[in-house]
Amino acid sequence: MNPGLDKLQDYPFERLQNLKSKVPLKDHSSIIDLSIGEPKTELPELIQHALMESSDQISFYPSTRGTDALRQSIASWLCRRFQIPEDKLSPDENILPVNGTREALFGISQALADTKNRKYVALPNPFYQIYEGAAFLAGAQPFFMPCPESRGFSPNFELIEPSIWMETSLVYVCSPNNPSGSILNPADYEYLLKMADIYNFIVVADECYSEIYQDESNPPLGLLEWCDRSGRDGYDKCLVVNSLSKRSGVPGLRSGFVAGDKKILEKYFRYRTYQGGAMSLQVQAASLAAWADEEHVVKNRFHYRKNMGLIEGIFDDKKIKTPEAGFFLWLELPIDDIDATSLLLQRGGILVLPGQFLAREINGINPGSNYIRVALVNDMEVCRKALMTIKEFFFSGEVQS
C-alpha cells in the first residue's frame, strides 16, 4: 500500500465529530453550526435553470478538456476579474475545468510533484488540509512554511532557507487565506516567483475565496494577475485553482478550474485523462452560465460583508479585526481552543472549529492553538447571536486562561 496513507491525519471534521460526541448535549437540533465553510446563500436561479435545461446531457460521456464554451466562459471571467488582456489567456491552452478545487489541489501533487528528486511540497500552516494529504500520498514530505501571526498567518517566504527551496518541487499558497482571511501582496508574489525561477518549482495558488472580500473597489490580487502585471512570460511555473463553490454558493455542483502555465497544464491534463475526472456536461452547462454572471456574486459578497461587518462592532477590541477577505473569523481566545469549542457547544449551543485541527505543531508550537475558526455563513442574526455568545464567554471575564 501507499506508505503515505499511514501518515494521513484524521480530517478536522472527523476530529470535531469525535469532540462533539464527548460533549453532553440536551438538544442536538438547536446547535448553530459555524464549523464548516459551507455557503448558505440562495441558489442562483440561472444555475438551477441551466441544470434543468441540460439534463439530457447526462446521456453522454464528457471529455476531460471540457467544452470549448465552458473554457471560453472561464477565460473571459478570468480576464474580466483580473484585468488580463484577452489575447494573453488561451481557453485551449491555459485552462482546464476540474470538479472543484479540492480534487485539483490533490491531483496536482500526484501528477506534478517531482518526489524522486525533491523531498518537499511546501504549504502554509495553518492550512487547508488537502495540501498535506496530497503531499503525503504523492510521496513527498510537507514543508510547513513559517506563517507569522504578525502577517495574518500568510507565509513569510523570505524566512525559508535556500536548502529547503532546493528540495521543493511544488508550493501551495492560499490567498485569500483559509482560515485567516489574509491576502498575499505583490511583494509576496514577487519574492516567491523569484525563488521559483531560481530553484525551479511550481507555484499552485488556491484562490477559491477570491470573490469574497470587504472592499468592493479593491478585489484581492490573483497570481495570474500578478504574472501579467509583472510581465511574466506565459504564467511560467504558475497554476491557479478556483471554483464556483464559494463564489456562486454551489459547493455541491463540484465545478472549478485550473489555469496557468500551458506546459504544466498539458501534463496535468494527461494525468486527468487517466484519473477520470471529466466534468459532467450538465454541470458544464450550469458552470458556463455561472461564470458569465456577476450579479449573483455581488449579492453573495454583500451577504458575507454584512456578516463580517458585525465583528468589530461586537468585540470592540482593537486586536480583533475584520479579515480582509473570505467568510471566516480566525479568533484568538484566552483559553485552549479545544476546551473553548467544547464549552461553547455545551453551554452556548454553538459549534466552531478548534484552530489546532487546522495546523501542525512546529518546534513545539501549534500556530492554531488558542484560535477558533468561525464560519460566518448563516443569516446575519444567527451570526450576531453566535458572536455575542462567543464574546460573552471569552471576552467578558467569565472564562479566563
Ligand X SMILES: Cc1ncc(COP(=O)(O)O)c(C=O)c1O
Q: Radius of gyration of the chain from Cα atoms?
A: 21
Q: Which stretch binds ligand X (CB under 6 A): 100-108, 150-158, 232-240, 290-298?
A: 100-108
> Binding to ligand X (CB under 6 A): which residues in 260-319?
none
Residues binding ligand X: what is the number (CB under 6 A)?
Answer: 13
Using CB under 6 A as the binding rule, whether residue 101 contacts ligand X is answered as yes
Using CB under 6 A as the binding rule, whether residue 97 contacts ligand X is answered as no
Give 55-63's long-range contacts (Cβ < 8 A, gap of 24+). Answer: 55/282, 57/280, 57/281, 57/282, 57/284, 57/285, 58/280, 58/281, 58/282, 60/281, 61/278, 62/278, 62/279, 62/280, 62/281, 62/284, 63/278
Which triple of cell numbers denotes residue 261? 502555465
Q: How many residues does the chain have?
A: 401
Which triple of cell numbers denotes residue 244? 464556483
Which triple of cell numbers denotes residue 149? 501571526
Q: Collapse the DSSP code of 185 into the 3-class scheme (helix H, G, I; strand E, B; otherwise coil) and give the result.
A: coil
Q: Which is nearer to ligand X, 94 or 243 (CB)?
A: 243
Q: Which is nearer to ligand X, 348 or 368 (CB)?
A: 368
Q: Which is nearer to ligand X, 169 or 243 (CB)?
A: 243
Find the Cα–Cα–Cα–Cα dihedral 160, 162, 163, 164, rounded to 10°.
40
203 CB neighbour count, 10 Å cutoff: 24
Q: Which stretch binds ligand X (CB under 6 A): 53-61, 95-103, 279-287, 390-398?
A: 95-103
- Of these, 109, 245, 300, 366, which contacts ligand X (CB under 6 A)? 245
Minimal distance, residue 396 CB to ligand X, in Å = 31
The answer to whether 213 touches 324, Cβ cutoff 8 Å, is yes
Q: Which is nearer to ligand X, 206 or 261 (CB)?
A: 206
Strands 202-206 and 168-174 come out as parallel
- Of these, 20, 65, 81, 102, which contacts ligand X (CB under 6 A)? 102
Using CB under 6 A as the binding rule, whether residue 251 contacts ligand X is answered as yes
Minimal distance, residue 208 CB to ligand X, in Å = 5
Q: Which is nearer to ligand X, 118 or 246 (CB)?
A: 246
b/e 352-364 (16+ beta carbons within 10 angstroms → b): bbbbbbbbbeeee
Minimal distance, residue 299 CB to ligand X, in Å = 19
Using CB under 6 A as the binding rule, whether residue 128 contacts ligand X is answered as yes
H helix and E strand count, the chain:
15, 12
Minimal distance, residue 20 CB to ligand X, in Å = 19
Minimal distance, residue 369 CB to ligand X, in Å = 20
Distance CA 286, CA 256 (A): 12
Q: Which is nearer to ligand X, 38 or 339 (CB)?
A: 38
The answer to whether 124 touches 174, Cβ cutoff 8 Å, is yes
Distance CA 10, CA 359 (A): 12
Residue type, 249: G
Q: Which stretch binds ligand X (CB under 6 A): 15-23, 97-105, 135-143, 306-314?
A: 97-105
Q: Which is nearer to ligand X, 107 or 251 (CB)?
A: 251
392 CB neighbour count, 10 Å cutoff: 13
The set of residues, in sequence order, having a beta carbon less than 8 Å from that of 19 and lying 6+ positions away, is: 338, 341, 342, 354
Q: Which is nearer to ligand X, 244 or 387 (CB)?
A: 244
Using CB under 6 A as the binding rule, whether residue 174 contacts ligand X is answered as yes
Q: Which is nearer to ligand X, 115 or 243 (CB)?
A: 243
Using CB under 6 A as the binding rule, whether residue 124 contacts ligand X is answered as no
Q: Which is nearer to ligand X, 226 or 327 (CB)?
A: 327
- Of these, 62, 100, 126, 220, which contacts ligand X (CB under 6 A)? 100
Using CB under 6 A as the binding rule, whether residue 208 contacts ligand X is answered as yes
The set of residues, in sequence order, having a beta carbon less than 8 Å from that of 1 and lying 6+ positions away, is: none
Question: Which of 152, 121, 100 shows the shortest CA–CA distance to 325?
Answer: 152
Minimal distance, residue 243 CB to ligand X, in Å = 3
Q: Which stretch binds ligand X (CB under 6 A): 98-106, 145-153, 192-200, 334-342?
A: 98-106
Using CB under 6 A as the binding rule, whether residue 248 contacts ligand X is answered as no
> Binding to ligand X (CB under 6 A): which residues in 12-51?
37
Q: Which is nearer to ligand X, 67 or 101 (CB)?
A: 101
Residues in contact with ligand X by CB under 6 A are: 37, 100-102, 128, 174, 178, 206, 208, 243, 245, 251, 256
